Amino acid sequence: MKCRLARTMAVVFVLLTAALSLAWSHHKLMSQDEVYAYQTYSVPTVADMVQVQRTWPISLDPLLYPLLSHGAMKAFGASAFALRLPALLGFLLMQACLFFFVRNLAGERAGMVAAAFPALTATLFYSAEGRPYGLMLGLYTLALWCWQVAERQETRTREQGTERRTWALVGLTVAIAATINSHYFGILLLVPICAAEGFRSLQRRRMDWPMCAAICVGIAGFAATSPFLQAAGEFRKNYYNEGAVGLRDITRAYRSIFVDYTRMSMPAQHLWVVVLIAFAVALVWGCVLAMRDGSGLRIPAAEWALLLVLASLPFCGYLLARFVTHSIEVRYVLGAVVAISAMLAVAMSPWLRRDAVFNAVLVVLGVAIVGAGAVRIHAEQKKTAARLASLVLPAEVKAALDANPDGRVYVQDMGAFEENRIYEPDADVRARMTLVYSPAEELRWNRHDTMALTATHIARITGLPVVSYEALRAQTGEHLFVLYHTGWDWTDQAFAEDGAKVRPVGRAMAGDVAAVEFK
């Protein structure tokens, strides 16, 4: 009965996560990167999508997530829901596999806690984001669980003379290959898997050849990324975060697992780092105490190696970026949340055997998941309402646009252009929006040409209006610009350098509208 309750509640928490994520997604506008993905994955056929990813990519990912999203769009229509569906299913897969993985470590009650915990972290965002990261989390956990089952079944085979691990080895192969083909940084999955299997081989003083074969066949799946990696390589020469790799990326990664630290003040961020260090120490110590509890908890050393190396994934990501890729984003190493969730559940397992504690944990988890989800949904509703309101042009701005002989409204900020054009309610204004790009100006002021390359690719695959800054500068008369004064928008510097006359018109689209005339 107690085990049945833990299994039932694990299912309840997964379904609750799905419901909250869908509600969050319903109120969430597509981000710049999601619009890139949407423009790519909503093309008519798979052949068209493969051609885009091999020649003029704007969503720089291998083929797995695009294929899954494209399939979802064929089934449910081209929408944000279909774009995000594989990410949601991947996140739910992570929760389900965490339950089974941790059940093998410390029992079903601990498995239930491990399955529920990710829904309380900031990683839940990636269940409602149409990018590969939610899918990666699920594939990471599937690979870990398959490795664990194959490892334990091999031990039983030697002891009992039975062979029942074929499905686990196949699952491990598929999970590794799929992870690598969902994102290029998915290659980091090999670090904990290979470290754990290497430790196990040293401990046993012999190789588990079927396991090694499964891992190697999975690694061979990297070959499928080659054409798309080559196409994405065009961006690498002057990528927007090229060379911006530092030790701070490690702490940023851990912070981003739990909270959106970017909205915090620097003192608050520093305090959060201290809290995380204390949490890490307590987590490790809790796991040590759980092993010494005397309750018969026996976790193989190789599985501890798997968890500890996976928990240190941000360090591994830093080293890969520092010496190989020279760029990294914190979302590339969010797989550490899988190990953290498992270790937390193991540390709590001695307490969870007490019915009163277990029941209290059930209540706390349920209330926390619902409460945190409600807060996120409400915040997203407010954010979306404010963003949509900003797209309604004030009378003076609309009059200036109608009176402008050029008849266009220019935007240089790539993200603003993509988001504005998707959600602008006035079809006439939407048709007039034009993207401005310049490799020379972007390199000059921002030291990269990522946006310019993306603009040229967008023009080729979507037919959206795109014009070079140099061509616009050669034209006479006033041009209506929406200016954002951000690190991405270099127009302020370029206008000043060119001696352009800038006449303020008003506020619209969350930016400053100005009539610009070049000399």
Confidence band (pLDDT; 50, 70, 90) for 157?
A: low
Six token digits for residue 479: 């041009």
Average pLDDT for the chain? 91
227-244 pLDDT, tens digit per residue, is 998 888 888 888 877 667
Whether the pLDDT of residue 191 is over 90: the answer is yes
Rg (C-alpha) for the chain, rounded Å, is 25
322, pLDDT greater than 90:
no
CB burial of 323-336 (b: ≥16 within 10 Å; e: otherwise) equals eebebbbbbbbbbb
Asked whether the predicted pLDDT for residue 295 surpasses 90, the reply is no
Q: 185-199, 293-307, 368-382, 504-518: which range is least confident on average?
A: 293-307
The amino acid occupying position 295 is: S
Domain boundaries, the chain: 2-382, 391-517
**Which amino acid, residue 493?**
Q
As a whole number, mean pLDDT of residues 73-80 equals 94
Tokens describing residue 121: 């972290």
Whole-number Å distance between alpha carbons of 93 and 36: 25
- CA 248, 254, 256, 260 dihedral sign is negative
Which residues are within 8 A (CB) of 180 and not within 5 positions of it... i.e. 6 or more apart?
62, 186, 187, 189, 218, 219, 221, 222, 225
Q: How far is CA 450 from CA 159, 242, 356, 443, in A?
A: 57, 10, 56, 9
- DSSP assignments along 487-514, one per residue: SS--HHHHHHHHT-EEEEEEEETTEEEE
pLDDT at 394 over 60: yes
Residue 106's pLDDT is what? 92
| Residue 464 clears pLDDT 50, i.e. is over it | yes
Is the confidence at residue 173, as pLDDT, over 60? Answer: yes
For the chain, first and last CA: distance in Å?
Answer: 81
- The stretches of 28-107 forming alpha helices (DSSP H) are 32-41, 46-55, 64-76, 80-106
Q: Is the pLDDT of residue 374 over 60?
A: yes
- State phi, psi for 516 to the nearest 5 degrees: -115, 130
Q: Give the pLDDT band (50/70/90) at residue 162.
A: very low
Among candidate residues 32, 60, 59, the one with its CA nearest the CA of residue 488: 32
Say how many C-beta atoms besides its own lie within 10 A of residue 18's C-beta. Answer: 17
pLDDT digits (tens, 9 = 90+) for 5-45: 888 999 999 999 999 999 999 999 999 999 999 999 999 99
Cα 316 from Cα 334, distance rounded (Å)? 12
pLDDT digits (tens, 9 = 90+) for 398-441: 888 888 888 899 999 998 999 999 999 999 999 999 999 999 99
Q: How far is CA 407 from the centre of its chain?
A: 38
Sort residue 517 into left (φ over 0), alpha (ψ -120 to 50) or beta: beta
Q: Which residue has the tokens 């080895």?
A: 169
Beta strands in 306-464 (DSSP E): 409-411, 433-437
| CA pair distance 324, 481, nearest whole angstrom | 40
SS3 467: strand
Task: Output the six-digit token pair for 162.
Answer: 């039975």
Q: What is the pLDDT of residue 243?
A: 67
Instruction: Provide mean pLDDT across the span 219-227.
Output: 93
In this prediction, residue 402 carries a pLDDT of 87
- Compute the Cα dihedral for 346, 351, 356, 361 and give only its sign: negative
Strands 433-437 and 466-468 come out as parallel
The pTM for the full model equals 0.94
Percent of the chain with pLDDT over 90: 74
Give the separation between CA 347 and CA 352, rounded to whole angstroms.
10
- When pLDDT is averaged across residues 451-464 and rounded to a whole number, the result is 91
Reported as a pLDDT band with limits 50, 70 and 90, residue 153 is confident
Q: pLDDT tier at 248 (50, 70, 90 boundaries)?
A: confident
Residue 84 has pLDDT above 50, yes or no: yes
**Nearest Cα to Cα of residue 65 among 49, 54, 76, 45:** 49
Q: Which residue has the tokens 């029942």?
A: 164
Q: How far is it, in rounded angstroms, from Cα 220 to Cα 223?
A: 6
Q: How confident is the model at residue 161 (pLDDT cuts 50, 70, 90)?
A: very low
pLDDT tens for residues 484-518? 998 889 999 999 999 999 999 999 999 999 999 99
- Residues 328-371: pLDDT tens digits? 888 999 999 999 999 999 999 999 999 999 999 999 999 999 99
Flag whether pLDDT at 163 surpasses 60: no
* pLDDT higher than 80, residue 160: no
